[in-house]
Structure 1
Amino acid sequence: MADTTTAKAQLGGDGSRTVAHGFQDADEVLPQYHIEAQTSLVDRPLRSLKFGEAFAVLDSFGDIGVQPGPEGLYFQDTRYLSRLHFTIEGQRPLMLSSVMQDDNGALSVDMTTPDIRLDGGDEITLPREIIAIERTKFLFRGACYDRIGLRSYDSRHRTLRIEVTFDADYRDLFEVRGTARTSRGKRAVQVASEHEVQFRYVGLDEIVRTTALHFGPKPKLLEPGRAVFEVTLAPEGRASLFVRVVCEAHRAFTSAPSVEKTGEDAAAALSLASGSTAVKPPKGLYEGMVFARAYRDARRDLRELTAGITTIISSNDQFNEAACRATADLYMLASRTPEGIYPFAGIPWYSTVFGRDGIITAMMALWIDPKFAKGVLRYLAVTQAKAVDPAADAQPGKVLHETRRGEMAMLGEVPFRHYYGTIDGTPLFVMLASEYYAVTGDRETITRIWPALELALAWMNDYGDRDGDGFVEYARDTDKGLENQGWKDSHDSIFHDDGHLAKGPIALCEVQGYVYAAKNGMAKLAAMLGHDAMAETLTLEADALRDAFDAAFWNEEIGTYALALDGEKRQCAVRSSNAGHALFTGIAKPERAAQVAATLLSKDGFNGWGVRTIARGEARYNPMSYHNGSIWPHDNAIIAMGLARYDLKHEAARIFQGMFETALYQDQKRLPELFCGFMRRRQRGPVSYPVACSPQAWAAAAPFAFLSACLGLELDHARNRVRLRNPILPAFLDGVSLYNVRLGESRVDLRFHRHGDDVTVSVMRRVGDAQVVVLK
């Protein structure tokens, strides 16, 4: 559709920006891969579980599909279970509590019976609160385990009818999101035994997907879609029902179930080891024993995954809860691959590998656990593009944007099977490698991925710089690809000050910073490996890029760096959070830092909770949009790290304070993917975004980035030094202790205590010879 934007922007007398709106253009039609929303994800509490490639979105009762929405049990981007509803005497129990365990290992729900009229009579024959119901659900190795425990507090025997209804629609995740399909595969269901019902779906991609529901004890009635139990409880008696749901996928005409592999595909060959198939119980083992053994093994697996990480204890119990939840979310989203652990992006829409998300998450969590960075680097090195493929927006050396395993991706109905349409993932990959080595000194990993780093560098200089002007730009090669390929990838997120959408190729502000940091980081790695000439060349290139960036992107009128340059090298003179990334990477000249910070933290930029993606008053500002006025925790964390880099610590602490207070209003004190950018009002919390992922990996990692920014925490393996540069603490923290900070073979416990604006640092424990240095 033709662009008919007519908005005009000008600066008011106080420096604020006012806009006359009146544009109409392509955003009149639904954008690509739109997430349809008839209901909000915040209108009722949802619970998320994940293990490997399987995840579950449940209502607070632990049920699935009672109301429309994204609830389901998913495996490899497909909904394997679309309904699972538990009732007692035809009624839903009364909710008492619904909580995720502190480590996200399981969902625990306490319920009781409502007032029940048995046999159709008018009188209540089973008073409420007579039967206690405790439900426990968790995922482990491709299966969902569900225990429903009953305990009677009655003085008489009771016989109860319990029913579980279920269904499996095998909708691709993109269908669940709202993308229509013209044809689908074939589905069948059968009662496989007196304990088991099996659904089977043969997709158009020739993948057979099966969902097996195992019930214990044997139901009184078992039909496709329904299991009925009759349970007799003595006074003070107990009983348990078990439902185990096993998800599997294999190619048609293949006898043994296994995860689909394509052989020639590098990413498919990296099939995630922890999410393939459920552990088969020995023949004759009762479902209760299966449940107990799986629960034990799942707990052991989580303990092994989190062993040795850095932990945080502060003077603020609420912050401790938020940090605990953030840690639990990170490790729940972590999936094992043959190359190490990889943090999946978020639930429900992005529970898969995303290059950019994984890199940024690993950066922010680097001081907590460098295993994330190691796994991300190795995985992205192996899946790096090796050839030109316009259908996947791929060129040699480019880092993966996203990979999907669902039917629509396999068939090419969406381009995301192995998709490379990201402009920032490749320089961020090199940045992460440099930061990982600085913290760990892991030369072996850097040597292993060095060819991939060289390819990434070549891509930045060749394919990335489309017109040879020294800036890295993007333009999609396939109409199915993403129109915008930075982290703000909405179709309308890059625009001029009058509201017109920018025409490409587009050079984003933050991407030039990533390239600058990547070249500086690559220079350090090259010098470490003895490539001195290469190191010198890269340093000179980075310095030249910094000068060129300042000349091309700085805009004195708006007091910050422009959002982007369009294909004609015209500035998108829009105040945005992207400029904060220029601080993060160090490409911003020191004399610009204070002015950039002032613009970010102005009333138009900072709403009291966080920095908006687009400042209030800009042409396309909309506080309810995905990228044009909303607030993203990870974006704010990057900005805070950038502010700290230029020693603007109090500004960083102000953002940290707002984000902490945001977490206090969230379910489980969990920072969401994003929230709306409306101005903060007294005695009211932030406004939620209707389809935000929660948990989201880079939002979970954000609290650790905020804390390290304020503390000025730097781990320097080469100097064997833990450096704390001008540490401060926000007002909500009087003290913080960090346990098991790792540097090489050394381990350090540190305590920080705030005295007004000053912070004292104490070393509580030191194992090894690492130095702790405090710089003011």
Structure 2
Amino acid sequence: MDPLELTVIEEEGKYHIPADSVNYDDRVKVLNHFDTFAVLDRWGDVQPHGKKVQGIYHQGMRFLSRLELRINHKKPLLLSSNIREDNDMLSVDLTNPDLDNNNILESTLHLSRSKFLRNGVYYEELCLVNYGSHTFTCAISIAFGADFKDIFEVRGINRTVQTSRPELSTSANTIAFTYHGLDGLKRRTEIVFSNVDEPDINNHIVTFHLTLVPHEDKKINYSVLFNTEEKFFATGQEVVMPDYSDAKNLRVEDIMRSRALFPEIVTSNEQFNQWICRSQADLLSLLTQTPFGKYPYAGVPWYNTAFGRDGIITAMQVLWIAPEIGRDVLRFLSKMQATEMIAAKDAEPGKILHETRTGEMANTNEIPFKEYYGTIDATPLYIMLAGMYYERTGNLDFIKTIWSNLKAALHWIDHYGDIDGDGFVEYKHKSENGLTNQGWKDSHDSISYADGKLCEPPIALCEVQGYVYAAKKHASNLAKALNEEVLSNDLLQQAEELKRKFNEAFWDSDLDCYVLALDGHKKPCRVVSSNAGHCLFTGIADEDKACSMAKVLVGEHMFSGWGIRTLSKDAVRYNPMSYHNGSIWPHDNSLTAFGFAKYGLQKETLKVLNALFDASLYIELQRLPELYCGFERRPNEGPTAYPVACSPQAWAVGAVFILLQACLHIEINALEKKIIFHKLDLPDFLEKITISNLRLNEGICQFELFRYKYDIGFHIIQKPEGWELIIKK
């Protein structure tokens, strides 16, 4: 390979997350709440050794890089380690090894650790019980450390600047690490011990000397505050925060409030119920309070922040059951919409945000992602979501508040998105450090020709044209509702013309599929990819082409048994272990399955639902990760894990909800006050589904579905006055 070409590839792949960013043979436990998340080992520790992602992170930086508990300087023995079903707490059960110097036999002491995060604070309670027959004394020690590494540094980017070393300070019951950032911010990790006598603190290690009589129990509580606010350093005042018990109770109240966003979904299959419950708990844990409402952060650990595309698609996945999330996503993105040309951010007037970061490297522009707009699809997806939200809720008053933003987004599509004026929307990055590829498959090598060579920009992706088509149709409906008839008619005509041109330019009869993309010279990337499935989701595909393409997408070269691959096995760049060139993404599959249902292809819809449900049964906690490898399904084995996949990840855990919607083929139209089931079907493993407390504006709906031998039965338990429930067979 030419040295220059190698240099280009290395530069383009600089944001790739290498597999050794996490030691995958170590099974980790994840806690997250708003801007804070923890990646812990099964003992509940953070190991400081080696190249690992373990740590507790806050606002894009690792505030705690070491947390090691020892009994008489020895590592405890692990009994069990579990994340609670609500995803709010990690419970760890430990016991002691033989402690010869104290004549304490193995498994005499039970040590439980209960830990959770809330509002930028980590809480832990240690409970020790002596199950021996005599009194003994032991030393419980915890070593702390804080390296204040930016998440991008942890995931492999080498920094060329010199950072300062954190400063350690201690007091009678506190250990603190203070870091003076290159961005002018002071960051502080403060460990406070509250319910114990004065502990023995020696630099970064705290030791508790405990004497326990037989069957006596003792508790140790401590909290770790992560802060970047100047006032706490300037005043020198003690920070007041809830103690462990109060914070625990408040966390439970938080969960109960957030649960109210969702209806109750119960089926005859307990494993499917568990998948739904886990997915709901994970999604609620990723919903972060912002000044503009709750926003689903993309995923832990690499993307625990607001992403435009991810947030929109997650909102779409749950729109039918939790429309408030869609409203808040629209509100947030409207406030963050670009208003001017800034090449370093790939920003243009009307464009919707790709991502926002708050760490040191973003603040100092070492990476361009503080507020970054390098996405080709978030803008039309934003308009789509607005139209879908209006149909689901009828909330025209809210649409009025963002109508100017929606018009600005439409203007961006026509005047900035269509680079060469051919009617298709293309991308070519302007930011020197920005993303080369700007669709959802944003790896540097994800868009290629049939011979494997990388596509030359500007690039028009097939799915993006579908998003634009759907955006203009939805915008046409909104304009009509707002009495802008001329605009409404223009948008509808533009959408239909785009559909005609798209089906002429992107369809490949030899592949029986839409090509992945067109380059700047309109040369097609003649490869079969999952991107084409999104053209069903948006409705841009012609009816006959949809049926032909569906056979390809669930055929042997695309369907592994665990789902639809991102790239066909026939493609030159196919690699089942790659990020975007042969792997399987649950969210990608869920949108395609919804598209199948839209075209009446229920057999294909159920095939995808079955595959993802089966995959969940082999994955810890039934938590579908961001992606897994695209190897062929092997009998009595689960899918092959991708080593640095985010988990939990918002649009992965959101997949089950839109899959269920696709299976039921349910349409909720608040404008006409109708709930319509189009040729609904149930998979073989579901005999019954009950949905309760489904909110329809101010009312509540509850219904049951039953499987019979040749039909699906339906029972309405409750519905608001004036609403109709219609089954179309």
Give the TM interval when normalised to the shorter protein: over 0.9
1:353 deviates by 0.3
- Given candidates 184, 187, 195, the residue that maps to 2:173 is 195
Indicate the SS of the match to 2:122. Answer: strand
Question: Within the alignment, does 1:75 sit opposite 2:28 as a pair?
Answer: no
> Partners of 1:455 and 1:156 in 2: how far apart?
75
> Partners of 1:323 and 1:39 in 2: how far apart?
30
| 8 Å CA contact retained: 1:352, 1:404 | yes
- Given candidates 209, 212, 234, the residue that maps to 2:213 is 234
- Given candidates 496, 501, 513, the residue that maps to 1:543 is 496
- Given candidates 707, 722, 739, the residue that maps to 2:660 is 707
Opposite residue 193 of structure 1, the aligned amino acid is S
1:757 deviates by 5.3
- 1:110-259 equivalent positions in 2, closer than 5 A: 110-118=93-101, 125-216=103-194, 217-218=196-197, 220-250=199-229, 255=234
Opposite residue 549 of structure 1, the aligned amino acid is F
Distance 1:113 1:253, change over 3 A: closer
> Partners of 1:42 and 1:311 in 2: how far apart?
35
| 8 Å CA contact retained: 1:101, 1:107 | yes
Indicate the SS of the match to 1:461. Answer: helix
| 8 Å CA contact retained: 1:189, 1:197 | no
> Partners of 2:236 and 2:529 in 1: how far apart?
50
- Given candidates 337, 358, 365, the residue that maps to 1:412 is 365
Q: Provide the residue aligned with 2:375 in structure 1.
A: 422
Indicate the SS of the match to 1:749. Answer: strand
Indicate the SS of the match to 1:115. Answer: coil
> Partners of 2:665 and 2:702 in 1: how far apart?
16
1:695 deviates by 0.3
Of 93-102 and 407-416, the range deviating more from structure 2: 93-102
Aligned residues: 727
Of 576-585 and 762-771, the range deviating more from structure 2: 762-771
Q: Provide the residue aligned with 1:55 in structure 2.
A: 37
Measured against aligned partners, the alpha-carbon deviations of 1:681-720 in whole angstroms (never above 9, x if no partner) come to 1111100001000000000100001110010011100111
Question: Within the alignment, does 1:498 sit opposite 2:451 as a pair?
Answer: yes
Indicate the SS of the match to 1:597. Answer: helix
| 8 Å CA contact retained: 1:308, 1:740 | no
Q: Provide the residue aligned with 1:273 in structure 2.
A: none
Measured against aligned partners, the alpha-carbon deviations of 1:410-433 in whole angstroms (never above 9, x if no partner) come to 111000000000000000000000
| 8 Å CA contact retained: 2:147, 2:166 | no
Distance 1:28 1:757, change over 3 A: farther
- 1:457-468 equivalent positions in 2, closer than 5 A: 457-468=410-421
> Partners of 1:775 and 1:60 in 2: how far apart?
50
> Partners of 2:459 and 2:526 in 1: how far apart?
13
Indicate the SS of the match to 1:453. Answer: helix
Mark the runs of 5 or more structure 1 residues left unpaired by the alignment.
6-23, 120-124, 259-277, 282-288
- Residue identity (%): 43
1:232 deviates by 1.1
TM-score normalized by structure 2? 0.97
1:304 deviates by 1.3
Measured against aligned partners, the alpha-carbon deviations of 1:466-513 in whole angstroms (never above 9, x if no partner) come to 111000000000220000000000000000000010000000000000
1:553 deviates by 0.2
Question: Within the alignment, does 1:750 sit opposite 2:703 as a pair?
Answer: yes
Opposite residue 33 of structure 2, the aligned amino acid is F
Q: RMSD in angstroms over aligned alpha carbons?
A: 1.9
> Partners of 2:710 and 2:633 in 1: how far apart?
26
> Partners of 1:117 and 1:510 in 2: how far apart?
66
Indicate the SS of the match to 1:166. Answer: strand
Of 764-773 and 425-434, the range deviating more from structure 2: 764-773
| 8 Å CA contact retained: 1:318, 1:664 | yes
Q: Provide the residue aligned with 1:35 in structure 2.
A: 17
Opposite residue 78 of structure 1, the aligned amino acid is M
Of 109-118 and 142-151, the range deviating more from structure 2: 109-118
Mark the runs of 5 or more structure 2 residues left unpaired by the alignment.
none
Q: Provide the residue aligned with 1:99 in structure 2.
A: 82
Measured against aligned partners, the alpha-carbon deviations of 1:400-456 in whole angstroms (never above 9, x if no partner) come to 000000010011100000000000000000000000111111112111111110000
Question: Within the alignment, does 1:524 sit opposite 2:524 as a pair?
Answer: no
1:29 deviates by 7.0
Opposite residue 43 of structure 1, the aligned amino acid is D
> Partners of 2:3 and 2:488 in 1: how far apart?
46
| 8 Å CA contact retained: 1:189, 1:224 | no
| 8 Å CA contact retained: 2:462, 2:506 | yes
> Partners of 1:556 and 1:248 in 2: how far apart?
58
> Partners of 2:176 and 2:322 in 1: how far apart?
41
Measured against aligned partners, the alpha-carbon deviations of 1:70-108 in whole angstroms (never above 9, x if no partner) come to 111111100000010111122222222211111111111
Opposite residue 361 of structure 2, the aligned amino acid is M
Distance 1:759 1:256, change over 3 A: farther
1:189 deviates by 3.0
| 8 Å CA contact retained: 1:522, 1:535 | yes
Indicate the SS of the match to 2:165. Answer: strand
Q: Provide the residue aligned with 2:391 in structure 1.
A: 438
> Partners of 2:272 and 2:596 in 1: how far apart?
22
> Partners of 2:232 and 2:421 in 1: how far apart?
51
1:678 deviates by 0.4
| 8 Å CA contact retained: 1:32, 1:482 | no
Of 187-196 and 249-258, the range deviating more from structure 2: 249-258
Indicate the SS of the match to 1:671. Answer: coil
Question: Within the alignment, does 1:280 sit opposite 2:240 as a pair?
Answer: yes
- 1:258-269 equivalent positions in 2, closer than 5 A: none
Of 696-705 and 180-189, the range deviating more from structure 2: 180-189
1:769 deviates by 3.3
Opposite residue 59 of structure 1, the aligned amino acid is D
1:223 deviates by 2.2
Distance 1:203 1:29, change over 3 A: closer
- 1:283-298 equivalent positions in 2, closer than 5 A: 290-298=243-251
| 8 Å CA contact retained: 1:722, 1:743 | no
Indicate the SS of the match to 2:228. Answer: strand
Question: Within the alignment, does 1:641 sit opposite 2:594 as a pair?
Answer: yes
| 8 Å CA contact retained: 1:3, 1:500 | no
| 8 Å CA contact retained: 1:32, 1:491 | no
- 1:260-409 equivalent positions in 2, closer than 5 A: 280-281=240-241, 290-409=243-362
- Given candidates 486, 507, 524, the residue that maps to 1:554 is 507
| 8 Å CA contact retained: 1:141, 1:279 | no
Opposite residue 51 of structure 1, the aligned amino acid is H
1:155 deviates by 1.7
> Partners of 1:257 and 1:220 in 2: how far apart?
22
Opposite residue 34 of structure 1, the aligned amino acid is H
Opposite residue 401 of structure 2, the aligned amino acid is R
Indicate the SS of the match to 1:326. Answer: helix
Indicate the SS of the match to 1:501. Answer: coil
> Partners of 2:685 and 2:12 in 1: how far apart?
43
